[in-house]
Structures are given as C-alpha cells and as structure tokens.
Amino acid sequence: MATLNWRTINIDLLDPESPANFSIATLSPPAPPVSASEVQGLSSQIKQLLRGGDSEGALRGALENPPYGGDAAAKEVHLATVVEILQSIKQSEMSPILSRIYNSEGGVEVLDVLMKYLYKGMSHSSKTSSASTGSMSPQPTGFSQIHARGGGEGGGQAMSVLLSWHEKLVEIAGPGSIVRVMSDRRTV
C-alpha cells in the first residue's frame, strides 16, 4: 500500500486549464511607472487650462492620463487635481460636458476613469470625516458634544459635488460604467 493520502492531492494543479496554473498578474495590463514629479507637472498644466477657462479640456486632460503606475503620493496629487476640476464646473455644465466626452472617441473609457475618481474621492472624504468625528469637547453644562474640528463643512461640500457628478455620469453613461469600474483591477 502506498503511504500517500489521496485526499490531500490538489487535483487543480494537475489540470493545465485550471486557474491555479496562471499568474494573477496577467489579469491587469502592465502600467508604466509614473513619478510624483511627473504627476505634479501634469497637474500644473491641467490647472493652467482650468485657469484659462477650458474646464472641459482640463477634465479631459486629467482623465486621459491617470497615474495607474504611480505611487500613493502621485495618485493623491492627481485625485486632488480631478476633484478641484469637478468642483470648479457649474452644475448646469455637467451634463453637456459629459455628453460631449461620451460621444467622442474613447469617451466610454474616459468616463469610466471619472467614475473611478468619483468613488476614490468619496472614500477619501469619508475617511477624513470619520477620522475627525472622534473629537469630543466638554460643555459647561456637563454634557459632551461630538463634532468635527475646523468646521467640517469642506468634506460635506466635496461629497455633494461628487454625488452630483455621479448622478449625471450614471444618467449619461449608464450603470454599465459602475460595473466596469468595480471589475477593473487598475486603481487610480
């Protein structure tokens, strides 16, 4: 009799078509490395477009060059740039800009990148607001009041802008954009 316990054999390793036999790194395309200084330079060019009044060009420029291969600092700089652009665009201009981008060449991919930044911005603002809500200050009445330091309105205003963009984006691009963003392994 053999001393090998057949119940411990991983038969998936013996099957050449098994998902255990390929690298998970092949699921996402390779992204070229991007330094924080490159993202900083791109950010200054985009802000120059924004100051010149070309908000659609600034938005398109930011969304066509996401730093997939960048480190966390580069991604944070780019996120701040995108959120600044989104906050500078009037609500009445949102739908026309999104429609023009959607109908242009590669527009679906550009709007998917925008959806990634909306979700990243929402998660970023909720982290900062939840970190600041833990402060308590004693009141003269003996009760404690829990509130955010520094007013706390900046995160709420940014969240409102991001939610407005999300509503308009789903209206234009459809719910498929959400599914594509959730299943994409590349992060912004």
Q: What is the pLDDT of residues 115-132, one digit of tens each?
A: 999 999 999 876 765 555
pLDDT tens column, 10-34: 888 888 777 777 777 777 778 889 9
At how many degrees (to 10) do helices 91-103 and 55-64 cross? 50
Q: Give 59's pLDDT tier (boundaries 50, 70, 90).
A: very high
Q: What is the DSSP letter of 127?
A: H
Which sign, positive or negative, has the C-alpha torsion 93, 116, 65, 126?
A: positive
Reduced DSSP (H G I as helix, E B as strand, rest coil) percent helix, strand, coil of the chain, to 5: 65, 5, 30
User: Helix (H, G, I), strand (E, B), or coil: what is residue 59?
Assistant: helix
Counts of helices then strands in the chain (DSSP H, E): 7, 2
The pLDDT value recorded for residue 157 is: 87
d(CA 25, CA 36): 24
Q: What is the DSSP letter of 140?
A: T
Q: How many C-alpha atoms does 157 have within 13 Å on its Cβ side?
A: 8
